[in-house]
Structure 1
Amino acid sequence: MDALARPATLPPHPERESGQGFGGPVEGPSETTRRLRPVREEAEPDNKAPDNKAPRVPDPALSWSAPVSPVSPVSPVVERPVVSFAEPERAARRFGGRGGARVAAVAACLVLGFGLVGGAVTGSWLVGDSQAAGSRDSFVAARSIWHSVPVDQLFPTTVAGQGAGPGGADRTWTRIAVAPDSGCKGAFDPLLRKALAPVGCQRLLRATYTDATQTYVTTVGLLFTKADASAMASLAKRFTEEKLDSRTDLMPRPYGPGFENDMRASWTVSVLTDAPVIVYAVSGWRDGRGVDQPQPAEEAMETGATTAPAQAGLGHEAQGLADRIERALRKQVGPYAKEQAA
C-alpha cells in the first residue's frame, strides 16, 4: 500500500489529512470518544475498508499545515473529535437569563442613582438660588423696617439677658428713654461720623436702658444706612482690620437725660453684613460719675481684666444689650421681608 494511502472509510478533509487541525496530535483508530486528549501516534492499519472501493490519495496541498511545513506520511485516522460549542451557548443562555436579569437590575440601579444624584445637585442649585434671593429680600426689607415695625418690638420695654453678666450671671434691662427717630447729625463724635460716612445715614433709632439694680445705664442704637451689601462688607472689614471698634476716639455718644459723654465707660460697635444696619451700645454708671479710661466691651469682658469698667461689668452691659437688640431686629426682618414680597 502506498505510504500516503488512506482507507476509503471517510471522505478526505483538510483537518484529517494534516493531523494538525487545531494544533493537536493525530488520533489513532482506537480513539472513539469526543474528548480532546492526546493518544499514541503508533499507526495501526485499518482492515475494515470495503473491498469494492479503491483507496484514495489526498492532495497534500489541501492540508492546513501545508503552507508551514512539507507533507509527510502520516498514519491512517478515523473520525476527528467534534468540538462542540454547546457550553458557551449555555453560558450565553445563562447570561441572558438569570445573569441578564442581574445586569438589568444593576443597570436600573445605576440609572436611578444617577437620577438621584442629578436631582440632588439640581435641588441644591435651586435651594441655593432661593436662599440667595431670600437674603437679598431680607437685606432690602431691613432698610425700611424702622418706619414699619413698632418701637416696642425693636426696643422692648424689658429685655432679658440670660447669662449675659459676668460669670454667666443673668441680666434684666428696663427701658427708660426712647429717642425720636432722626438723622445722624450730632449723634456721633466727628471721627466716628467720618468713619461711618461711606455707608451713609438714612435713619437712627436709639433707646436707653438701666439694669435691675438701676446702677448702670446703657444706650443702644440702630443706624440704618444707605449702603448696599458690598459697601457694608467693606466697612465691616475695615472695622475689623483697623480695630476701629476699640478706639476711644470712635466711641458712640449716649442718649438720655443724665447720661453725658464723659460718663461713657464701655462700648461696642457691630457692622452687619446681611442688613444695612450698624448696631452699637455704650454704657456707664447711672450716678453720674465720669470715666477717665473707657474700655472696649471686648477687652472689659476678658478674664482677669482689672479696669474699673471691667470690674463693674460694664463691658457685659454694653455687649449683652447690643446682642439682644440685634436679635430682636433679626426676628422682625424675616416676617417683614415676606410681607413685602407678597
Structure 2
Amino acid sequence: MRPAGGPGRPRPRAATASPHPAPRADGPAERPSETTTRLRPVPAEAPAPAGSALDGTGAPGGPDDGRTPPPISTGAVPATPAPRPRNTPAPGAGRPFTPFGPPPEQYGGPEQYGAYDGQARSRRPGGQGRPRIVAAAVCLVLGVGLVGGAVTGGWLTGGPGEGGARGAFAAAGDLWHSVPVDRLFPPTVQGRGAGPGGADRTWTRIAVAPDSGCADAFDPLLRKALDPAGCARLLRATYTDATQSHVTTVGLLFTRADAAATASLARRFEKEGLARRSDLMPLPYAARGTAAAGFGAGQRASWTVSVLTDAPVVVYAVSGWADGRAVDDPQPAEEAMEPGATTAPAQAGLGHEARGLADRIERGLRKHAASATEQPS
C-alpha cells in the first residue's frame, strides 16, 4: 500500500531545530561578534527560580556580560558565590555602617557602638576624647615620676654635678692609704714619646721613701708656700732611666685642703709663677746603695710642681745626674723642654725626665680616683 498523499509524492519530514534559534522578541539581540549561544535574562513575567544566578543574589551573566551587578538583596546567600570580575567593587561596598568587633546589637545599635563613614571618621560623639585625655594624663604622670626619680637618684649616688665632684675630690684624698704603693708608684713606668724629640722613655723604681709628714721634705720657702693647704701625707719614690745616667724623685703630697682652698692655691702658683722659681725646688730622695745615693740638694737640675684642682694633691718631680755632679744653674722643666734650649739640663733631657715621669704618675693617680668613685653595677 502506498501512504496517503498520492503516488509519487515524497513523504513529509519531521521539523528539526535550528542550531541557532531566533532571538526572543523580549530579549536583547545577539551581537554579530558572538559565536556561541549565551544565556539571556528571564523576562519579568517569568521569575527565575530562587537561589539561581539571576534572582538578584548572584552575579548575572558571565565574565563578558559588561553590565553592572544588581544590588545585593536581603534574601538568602548562595552557598558558593559566583566569581567576581577583577577591578570591580565588592558587593555591599559603601555601606554606611561597618562595625570593628562584635555585632553592634550587643551595644544597643550603631548609635552606641560607633560607625564610620567613607572617610573613616568616627561618628560616635565624644567617643575618642575621653580615652585620649586619660592616656595623656597617664603619660604626664609617668614622665614626671621618671624625671623626679632620676634627679633623686643623682642626689643619692653623688652623680654628675656638684655633689659628684665633691665625692670624687674626697675619694682622691684617701688614695694614699687605700691604694698599694706599687700602683701609685709602679716598679716600671713607660713613657712613650716622653723624651726629647718624642723619644720613648722607661723609668725603673730604685727606692721608695716611707710615708711621712712634710717637716723635712721641702726647703723653707716651698714649705711656706704649701702651708695654707696643710700636709696630710707625703709619698715619694726615686727612679732611674734605662741607662742609669739620670735619677728622678717624684712625690705625691696629700693636703688637708678642701676644693676651694686647693683651687686658690693652684691659682696662686699659676699667677705668681711659683712653680718656676729655683728657690722653691722640691728636695730629692736619696737612698743608700742605689744610683741615687749621691742625689742631694746640690744635684738638682730640673723640676716641676703641679697643684691639682680635682684632688687635694700636689704632684712634683725633680731630676739630676746619677753621678752626683753639682748643678749651678737648674732650670724648670717647662723651660728646659723648649726647642732651642742650650742649658746643660736641657741638653741632657733632664727637663723631659722630670716632666714625663710626673705626668705618668699623675695619670695613674687620676685613674685610681675615678675607679674609687665608680658606683657598683
| TM surpasses 0.5 | yes
Matched with 1:318 is: 354
Matched with 1:9 is: none
Determine whether 1:178 maps to 2:214. Answer: no
Deviations 1:31-83 (A, max 9, x none): xxxxxxxxxxxxxxxxxxxxxxxxxxxxxxxxxxxxxxxxxxxxxxxxxxxxx
Matched with 1:238 is: 268
Distance 1:304 1:137, change over 3 A: same
Out of 149, 174, 182, the residue aligned to residue 152 of structure 1 is 182
In the TM superposition, what is the alpha-carbon distance from 1:136 to its structure 2 partner? 1.4
Letter in 2 for 1:238: R
Out of 299, 312, 317, the residue aligned to residue 276 of structure 1 is 312
C-alpha distance in 1 between matches for 2:345 and 2:203: 18
In the TM superposition, what is the alpha-carbon distance from 1:142 to its structure 2 partner? 1.6
Letter in 2 for 1:229: A
Letter in 2 for 1:175: R
Determine whether 1:255 maps to 2:266. Answer: no
In structure 1, stretches of 5+ residues that fail to align are: 1-93, 97-111
Distance 1:323 1:121, change over 3 A: farther
Which runs of structure 2 are paired with 1:75-154 in the superposition (5 Å)? 130-131=159-160, 132-154=162-184
Aligned length: 249
Matched with 1:209 is: 239
Q: Which has the larger radius of gyration?
A: 2
Matched with 2:29 is: none
C-alpha distance in 2 between matches for 1:338 and 1:122: 20
Deviations 1:70-107 (A, max 9, x none): xxxxxxxxxxxxxxxxxxxxxxxx9x9xxxxxxxxxxx
Matched with 1:327 is: 363
Give the TM-score of the pair, scaled to structure 1. 0.63
- Larger relative contact order, structure 1 or 2 (CA cutoff 8 Å, min sep 6): 1
Q: Which moved more, 1:140-149 or 1:297-306?
A: 140-149
Matched with 2:192 is: 162
Letter in 2 for 1:189: D
C-alpha distance in 1 between matches for 2:151 and 2:373: 23
Letter in 2 for 1:302: E
C-alpha distance in 1 between matches for 2:151 and 2:284: 46
SS of residue paired to 1:175: strand
SS of residue paired to 1:306: coil
SS of residue paired to 2:284: coil
Give the TM-score of the pair, scaled to structure 2. 0.58
Letter in 1 for 2:279: D
C-alpha distance in 2 between matches for 1:168 and 1:125: 48
SS of residue paired to 1:130: coil
SS of residue paired to 1:280: strand
SS of residue paired to 2:216: coil
Distance 1:163 1:125, change over 3 A: farther
C-alpha distance in 2 between matches for 1:133 and 1:208: 36
In the TM superposition, what is the alpha-carbon distance from 1:149 to its structure 2 partner? 1.1
C-alpha distance in 1 between matches for 2:153 and 2:352: 42
Distance 1:263 1:121, change over 3 A: farther
Deviations 1:131-170 (A, max 9, x none): 1333211211122211121110000000000000011100
Greater share of helix = 1
In structure 2, stretches of 5+ residues that fail to align are: 1-120, 124-138, 287-292
C-alpha distance in 2 between matches for 1:202 and 1:173: 27
In the TM superposition, what is the alpha-carbon distance from 1:238 to its structure 2 partner? 0.1
In the TM superposition, what is the alpha-carbon distance from 1:334 to its structure 2 partner? 2.3
